[in-house]
Amino acid sequence: MSLMEKDILVKKATRDAFGDEIVRLGEKNKNIYVVDIDIGKSCKTTAFANKFPNQHVNVGIAEQNGAGLAAGLATTGKIPFVSTYAVFGSLRMAEQIRQEICYPNLNVKIACSHGGLTPASDGASHQAIEDMGVLRTIPNMTVIMGADYHSTRKLVEQAAEMYGPVYLRFTRDTVPVLYDENEEFTIGKVKQIKDGKDIAIIANGDTVYLALEAAKRLEEEGISVKLLDMHTIKPLDREAVVDCLNIGKIITVEDHNILNGLGSAVCEVVAEEGKGIVRRIGVQDQFGQSAPYEKLLKLNGITIENIVNTAKDLVQNK
């Protein structure tokens, strides 16, 4: 059964996927370490800490120290996952990530909960809306956000198996479980949910569900949609974006600033190819507020309705 036909009823936070998968990885490989920044309960690493105390370090509220410790562990052949909130794991640790992890190309994974607007009522200080954009500009860094529980588990597993720095972004809030447990994912390769000929929609993370629901409505109105889950924004699947230029009209959807995130990455490819139109739906270069998650999405136009209306406008204005 395709996602277009599936009834999506279950919701899980992707931070829970990380917590479950890191325990499984710890059972398989004693070189897997978790470096906690004193918020293990919130970032879902408590089970790992309890089961593998010798593979776990809590540095306290000291993100930069955690990054440095992880770099040191990586030089000894360990595979450390630094676990904190996305706003701290990207911005507060940025210098250490650049100088101590990415510059020497060390095998460190930055695994961050509370990505995008999903912290919601925690307020603007905890809503990471610049994180993927900041880190994708650093050489050697891979940047990933899975759309749901099962895709996130698969991508965390692959991140552990590949060599090099990886940034993994998770949701605080629950999001719909889209994929089956046995669905396969490859870092750097888009997951095509549906092919189409009138409009291409490229989404990632918690917005994939919104894009899927919008695609269903558009199909009911006779608009054929090509729908892509771009879980990896660096390295971006350039070939998949170029293929969308056969349609020529693209919408990107993300829970991130429209500057320097998925939308910007897609626009770079389109501009270099010299053809095509892109409309970016995401956080409108503004800070969040303390409000329910759905309200914050609506404030930024990250809604099913806006995706549908934007698609209709592009298709009708030939």
Residues acting as catalytic residues: 63
Q: Which amino acid is at 89?
A: G
